[in-house]
């Protein structure tokens, strides 16, 4: 029985692509290169990729993240209203007919995507995805709910949080507009310098 357990444990290690410490892989790699290779691999329970093209989310005030023409394209005809939620600055927009509402919040200094992902068992809808080439998580608090959230890593410890809520009776799917809005905002951000 011990032999079977040892074989299963070894099979699990080999299936995960890991090599045993101190064993040669026969590829001629040095121990340092092998260690670097392992450290750059993501753990199976951490599917969030690194930010490859950092953007400076702190460079623009939240209510100025979109141009008037971009807001009009999203059928928003009311000026943005500054918001603050738990110390995160943001902005909220809606239309005169009160059928749709967008909100953005800027979180600086936290690893929001991993924090949200760690709560995946308590969130009805959660998908690791990308928005404009940046790592993102899409969530809904209710499978059939009228709101959809995208949390997008603009840079390490710089996260854009977008919420779209369909307010009319025959509601549209909220995740399409939320993603489009997030893509527009990310497209407007300057590269992160330094």
Beta bridge partners of 158: 108, 155
In this structure, is residue 108 part of a structural domain? yes
Distance, CA of 146 to CA of 176 (rounded, Å): 12
In this structure, is residue 107 part of a structural domain? yes
**Is residue 23 domain-shared with residue 71, that is, in the same domain?**
no
Residue 35, phi then psi, degrees to nearest 5: -65, -40
Query: What's the distance, CA 33 to chain centroid?
Result: 30
Give residue 85's pLDDT: 83
Using one digit for the tens of pLDDT, what is the confidence trace for 4-37?
333 223 233 233 333 323 333 333 433 344 333 3
**Is residue 74 domain-shared with residue 15, that is, in the same domain?**
no
Q: Would you list the DSSP string of 34-102?
A: HHHHHHHSPPTT--PPPPSS-B-GGGS-GGGSS-HHHHHHTT--S--EEEEETTEEEEEEE-TT--EEE
CATH code of residue 99: 3.40.1000.10
Give residue 44's pLDDT: 54
Residues 42 and 18: beta-carbon distance below 8 Å: no
In this structure, is residue 77 part of a structural domain? yes
**Is residue 101 domain-shared with residue 173, that is, in the same domain?**
yes
Distance, CA of 154 to CA of 166 (rounded, Å): 25
Give residue 126's pLDDT: 96
Query: What's the distance, CA 185 to chain centroid?
Result: 14
* Mean pLDDT value across residues 60-71: 95
**Is residue 26 domain-shared with residue 69, that is, in the same domain?**
no
Domain span including residue 117: 57-188
| Domains held by the chain: number | 2
**Is residue 8 domain-shared with residue 65, that is, in the same domain?**
no
**Is residue 62 domain-shared with residue 157, that is, in the same domain?**
yes
Give residue 163's pLDDT: 97
**Is residue 31 domain-shared with residue 69, that is, in the same domain?**
no
In this structure, is residue 84 part of a structural domain? yes
Distances (CA, A) of 106 to 32, 95, 133, 135: 38, 22, 18, 15
**Is residue 10 domain-shared with residue 85, that is, in the same domain?**
no
Give residue 45's pLDDT: 65
Using one digit for the tens of pLDDT, what is the confidence trace for 103-159?
999 999 999 999 999 999 999 999 999 999 999 999 999 999 999 999 999 999 999
**Is residue 179 domain-shared with residue 148, that is, in the same domain?**
yes
Reduced to 3 states (helix: H, G, I; strand: E, B; else coil), residue 30 is coil
In this structure, is residue 45 part of a structural domain? no
In this structure, is residue 49 part of a structural domain? no
* Mean pLDDT value across residues 170-193: 93
Please name which of 53, 6, 16 lies closest in space to residue 38, comparing C-alpha atoms: 16
Query: What's the distance, CA 52 to chain centroid?
Result: 13
């Amino acid at each position: 029985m011990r032999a079977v357990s040892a074989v299963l444990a070894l099979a699990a290690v080999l299936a995960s692509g890991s090599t045993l410490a101190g064993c040669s892989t026969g590829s001629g790699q040095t121990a340092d290169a092998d260690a670097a290779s392992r450290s750059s691999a993501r753990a199976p329970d951490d599917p969030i990729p690194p930010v490859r093209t950092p953007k400076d989310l702190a460079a623009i005030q939240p209510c100025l993240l979109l141009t008037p023409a971009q807001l009009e394209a999203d059928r928003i005809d009311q000026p943005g209203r500054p918001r603050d939620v738990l110390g995160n600055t943001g902005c909220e927009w809606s239309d005169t007919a009160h059928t749709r509402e967008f909100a953005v919040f800027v979180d600086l200094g936290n690893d929001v995507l991993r924090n949200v992902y760690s709560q995946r068992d308590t969130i009805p809808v959660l998908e690791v995805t990308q928005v404009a080439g940046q790592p993102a998580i899409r969530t809904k608090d209710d499978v059939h709910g009228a709101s959809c959230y995208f949390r997008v890593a603009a840079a390490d410890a710089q996260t854009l949080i977008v919420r779209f809520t369909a307010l009319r009776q025959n509601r549209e799917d909220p995740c399409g507009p939320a993603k489009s809005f997030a893509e527009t905002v990310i497209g407007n951000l300057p590269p992160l310098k330094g």
